[in-house]
Structure 1
Amino acid sequence: MTTKDFNNKTVVITRPVERSESMAKIIRENNGIPLIIPTLELQLVKSEELIYIAENIKEYEWIIFTSPAGVKSFFEVFTESKIPSKIAVIGVKTEEVLQEYNNTPDLIPENFTAEGLLESFKSINLEDKNIALPRTLSARKVLPEGLEEYGANVTIAEAYTSSTPQDTSKLIDLMEKIINNEIDIITFTSPLTVTNLLNVIKQERKEQYDAFINQLRTNIIVGSIGPITGNVLKQHNIPAIEPKRYTVKDMIDALLQNI
């Protein structure tokens, strides 16, 4: 644990608004000023594939949840209380949301990434096993392809969409605050939180994009929740502070230790 605090620094939260308050609370507890400006919007989707999985869950040896939104979407269409399949989740928050529905995961990887989950499955026989994977269709293919290499039959079901906010005015306002040195720290918790912000600025304020990017590279402290998000930042030469364990709490601790 660190004894440092944010000393009234402004910390931007770019994750979806429904997942921001717990992070804002941690920032306030550490004497920071949270500024919630989502660069990503989530919409739950009741796709045909998701309904099929819910109605035929006993056909699946495993169901894998990679985010809280996937859990919430599944329980929108699942009419029973207990999932009979084995359950794997990525991340502490996904586990917490699953437990809110009175279900407990059988597998949580130590490394909260698709790669970490695949590593955990290495010692488990998945040959000809059916696996349900409710998630956004925009997610990386690493997980389903890796499971198929283990011999599994993977059913991907669209459970939610991840998109740029319809109202981009707050993102433009954030850009202006960053250029004007009104922001101390900005945090990113997924690749799309980075990509969406940069794309909006590039499309709507092209003439200010270079100044904006330069501020992120040189004057703003940037927090990344993990290496997948960090790799997107690296592609734009934006240095970031990254925790060893990929949780919001650990990212906040890493920022406190490095400011």
Structure 2
Amino acid sequence: MSSEGFKNKKIVVTRPVERSESLANIIRENNGQPIIVPTLELQIVKSKELLYIVENIGEYDWIVFTSPAGVKSFFSVYGKNPIPSKIAVIGVKTEEILKKFDETPDLIPKDFTAEGLLESFASIDLDGKKVALPRTLSARDVLPKGLEEYGAVVTVAEAYTSSIPKDKTKIIKLMDDILNDEIDIITFTSPLTVHNLLKVINENCNEKYDEFLDKLRSDVIVASIGPITGKALKQYDIPAIEANRYTVKDMIEILLQNI
């Protein structure tokens, strides 16, 4: 690994703007130039299911948080009261946000995926147990279905939405920058960051879509935070560098080892 880090390479961050700064800071610390182009917009949703969970939290044996946005949405309704349920989280960032509300998770998997969490739950008796799952409805069904297979009664509550940004100008400019060889690396931290980017370009600049895909496949270094995001990239035949541990810090470290 070079002591010069990224040597002022331009590195795109496609995360929602609320979650981009931590990754951008790590890039700066390693002499890179972060280019923040959100391909997701997050908005808190106070759904009737979320309100039910909050009002009846004492009924639940477990509450599972899969993202920082889910934690923030829950506490925007719940307030500062201690959570009586046991708490499971996916990922160190979700754990970090949870601790800001003076709560500590009872379960966090080594593998920061839905599959990893299910593996951690495998040795825990969930038969007949009530589990609350505040999250975005666009997430995969792997976790709630897996918990139900363990015998749990799962309440999925929409806690936030993940949508394509209304203002697409940054995404269009990113396409032009990549076509003009002005971007060195692009990072993806969820399947939707991949799908939304390509959907916007396909729908708004269809004549350049194939050329853009070719650039991602051959001329730009692509980084994936983990196998679920990597699977999304494979759908478009885009090769990616991927770390063994699914955090932004590990993603940056594996990039530094491969540039």
Q: How would you bin the TM-score normalised by the shorter chain?
A: over 0.9
The separation in 2 between residues aligned to 1:50 and 1:97, in whole angstroms, is: 19
Contact 1:88 1:106 in 2 (8 A): yes
* Shift, 1:4, TM fit: 5.4
One-letter code of the match for 1:17? V
Alpha carbons of structure 1 residues 93 and 151: separation in structure 2 relative to 1, 3 Å: same
User: Where do 5+ consecutive residues of structure 2 fail to align?
Assistant: none
Alignment of 1:194 onto 2:194: yes
RMSD of the TM alignment (CA)? 0.9
Question: Distance in 2 between the 1:83 and 1:248 partners?
Answer: 28
SS in 2 for 1:54: helix
- Matched residue of 2:125: which SS? coil
Q: How does 1:147-186 map to 2 (within 5 A)?
A: 147-186=147-186
What residue in structure 2 maps to residue 230 of structure 1? 230
Q: Any stretches of 5+ residues in structure 1 without a counterpart?
A: none
Give the match for residue 44 of structure 1.
44
The residue type equivalent to 1:236 in the other structure is: Y
Q: Which residue of 1 aligns with 2:73?
A: 73
Q: Read off the aligned partner of 2:200 and give its amino acid letter.
A: V
SS of residue in 2 equivalent to 1:27: helix
Deviation at 1:80, TM superposition (A): 4.0
CA apart distance, 1:117: 0.2
- 1:113 is aligned to 113
Residue-by-residue CA offset, 1:76-108 (whole Å, 9 max, x unaligned): 110342111000000000000000000000000
What's the TM-score once normalised by structure 2's chain length? 0.99
Q: Equivalents in 1 of 2:10, 2:16: separation in Å?
A: 18
Q: Distance in 1 between matches of 2:67 and 2:3?
A: 31
Whether 1:28 aligns to 2:28 is yes
| One-letter code aligned to 1:166 | K
Aligned residue-pair number = 259
Judge conservation of contact 1:61–1:129 (CA < 8 Å) in 2: yes
Once residues 3 and 92 of structure 2 are traced to their aligned partners in structure 1, the CA distance between those partners, rounded to angstroms, is 24
Structure 2 contact 80–101 (Cα < 8 Å) conserved: no
Aligned counterpart, 2:257? 257
Residues 198-244 of structure 1, C-alpha deviations (whole Å, 9 max, x = no match) = 00000000000011000000000000000000001011110000000
Shift of 1:3: 4.2
Runs of 4+ aligned residues of structure 1 deviating over 6 Å after TM superposition are: none
- What TM-score do the two structures reach when normalised by structure 1? 0.99
Please say if 1:99 is aligned against 2:105: no
Identity %: 70
Whether the aligned pair in 2 keeps the contact of 1:2 and 1:253 (CA below 8 Å) is: no
Asked if the contact 2:4–2:31 (Cα under 8 Å) also holds between the matched residues in 1, the reply is no
Residue type at the aligned position of 1:12: V
CA contact (8 A) 2:130 2:152 kept: yes
Give SS of 1:133's match: strand
Question: Counterpart of 1:170 in structure 2: which amino acid?
Answer: K
In the alignment, the residues of structure 2 paired with residue 119 and residue 224 of structure 1 have an alpha-carbon distance, to the nearest angstrom, of 22
SS at match of 2:73: helix
Say whether residues 1:213 and 2:208 are aligned partners. Answer: no
Question: Aligned partners of 1:63, 1:207: CA distance in 2, in Å?
Answer: 46
CA contact (8 A) 1:81 1:102 kept: no
**Offset at residue 251 of structure 1 (A):** 0.3
Check whether the contact 2:66–2:90 (CA below 8 A) recurs between aligned residues: yes
2:13 touches 2:35 (CA, 8 Å); kept in 1? yes
Q: Is residue 84 of structure 2 the alignment partner of residue 84 of structure 1? A: yes
Q: 1:94 aligns to what SS in structure 2?
A: helix
Given that 1:81 and 1:101 are in contact with CA atoms closer than 8 Å, whether structure 2 keeps it comes out as no
